[in-house]
Amino acid sequence: MAWVILGIAVFTEIIWALSLKWAATIGSWQASAVPIGLSFLNMGLLALAMRDLPAGTAYAIWTGLGAVGVIIGGMILYGDRVNMAQIGFMAMIVIGVVGTKLSAQA
């Protein structure tokens, strides 16, 4: 169950980071409340996952997949450009995350 919670935390991390840019474009206090609320949810889910997973493993997966997800989300939602070198490095992050998961004890 901890892995499922971590997966939800990764998804929430991606939505949170993308909502920061969205809130900046809107410029209202109501829009700013969205990433603030997501931040609390995000951290709570990560902490919950860390109850049963090693902190380093959970954090590495959370940040790695979060970073790749934000890049992909930025491409889709905001037209961010990515070059081939960046795609290669994102692939290495995903390989590292998969390796971390496969070698984890929990």
87 vs 30: which has the higher pLDDT: 87
Cα dihedral sign, 30-12-57-61: negative
* Helices 84-103 and 55-78, axial angle in degrees (round to 10): 150
At residue 103 the predicted structure's pLDDT band, cuts being 50, 70 and 90, is confident
Query: What DSSP character marks residue 50?
Result: T
Its pTM stands at 0.87
The predicted-structure confidence for 8-28, as pLDDT tens digits, reads as follows 999 999 999 999 999 888 888
Which pLDDT belongs to residue 106? 57
